[in-house]
Chains A and B, each alone.
Chain A
Amino acid sequence: MSIAQFQAYGYFILIFLLVVVLYSYIYHLYTKKKDADGVDYESYSNMALKDDIDDTPVSAISEDKEK
């Protein structure tokens, strides 16, 4: 196999893997919500909107620290 062929196969495999990774990530973002302990990523916007020091965290780091 010449170096050019090797590069071409390598290129194809890389692009294919990247497409798989990209779509898996999107799939993950959408399905995470339905899991048992799932999160709705859209609720994370509230980390900015409700950011006073005495606001309740969107998901507190531990129960005992939550005030």
Chain B
Amino acid sequence: MSGASPARTVTGVPSPIRWAEASDGSERARLPVPVDHRDPDGPAIDLALVRHPAAEPGARLGALVVAPDDPGSSGIAVAGELRKALPPSVTARFDLIGFDHRFSGESAPLQWGLDQREIFWVFHQSGSFAAEVRFQAEIAAKAAGPSLAVLPHITTRNIARDIDIIRRALGEERISLLGHNYGSYVAAVYSQMFGSHADRVILDSVLSPDWVWSGLFRNFARNCEETLRWWCARTARPGGPLGDTPERVRDAFEEVLRKAGAGGIMLAGVPVPLDDQFLRVLAMLLLSSARSHAALEDVVRSAATGAPPNPATLQLIGSMFAVPRDASTAAAQMAILCGDAAWPRALEEYESASEEAPGFMGRALLGVKAGAFWPAQPIEPPTAFGPTAAGGVLLVQAERDMFTASVGATRMRSLLGERSRLLMVRGMIEHRVFPFAGDAQVNEVAGEFLTTGRLPDADITLDDGLDDLDARALRGPR
């Protein structure tokens, strides 16, 4: 089932998009797509699109379609971020096209009536197994109520088909694509299904097709633990507040978790006691970038000693949790993670996995999820990958990316074959590298590929001449 089956996609030519200028200078439009691509004349929804036209129209090379970076997250917002962050050589020559994917954001968002607890804890709760079964089954029940008929159509393959409708509505024979995190998977699926229409493709912070999607959690749990160990090693130093050996640092971390589990800990400046569950998620988020590793050290120190955290730490934590996640975002995320491929339904699988789970996030990540109770089945298997037919695919990956472990990128690289290259930054703990990590070399290689269409001659590993990988990671990106 790899590749596109053109007979199953919309055959008519969509009408040209009518762009309207928005207050921020971008252009907005709506474009109808069929809910069920097997039934192109059936019910349709409107996708919300944004275009940031090429800054130098005379030098325009084409359209660069940006894929949403998380299931459920706004592709329109990501395009806005990229407009500011991409090298000028890219924004000069490409129209940046963003879209909220089907059933998210401004594109017929799902309304399931999820409450705040469900939205926040849907993936990260580590309570009793029985309680989690009920919690997750309730979420699946809420999905079934209003959305049973559309659930089978909320899949990555259908998002890829939507992208091809966007392409044709743009009047482009070929498009270039840029996708981070889940967006890397969307762009990869598009270039697998519609390879002849994919020109220059960048996959950044790459998901392995083997993870779709219960496997994502298993891999992620291991990676969180590995990153924590690394943090312990680098946080240990003579006279350091948490100890002079990695073991002592880990002990300090575990002791804070224990106290949090026993009754919660008050962190000066944080209005509510932090429980064990919350502290684990906070640690996970702070571990995900080397730029916030000092804040984790500060949190643990503060929790252990009662001394107030640094203002910068509080500000960072505040910014992480200040904006509550939107209910429709969480719903769309669930719909795709549970809809692309069937999850195991045998509860004992989850129970034994979460009991044996490695590391400080294992219990939460490997516990039962709503996918085990999903009320619908996939209508097609997930995409099988083989050598790409796209003009070229450049994979960009931080070696120690916690959210998307670098094995995902090496796996995808091996599947995509000759017309792909991997750009790996050794030692870097970063998620979403190009251009967000601000690494000049990465930006140069990726920008060059986008503007010339030429892949590097070989895979590239950047280590900037540093012998000590830890030193680089400690410092974070330049």
Q: Does B associate with A?
A: no
Residues on A lying within 8 angstroms of B by beta carbon are: none
Residues on B lying within 8 angstroms of A by beta carbon are: none
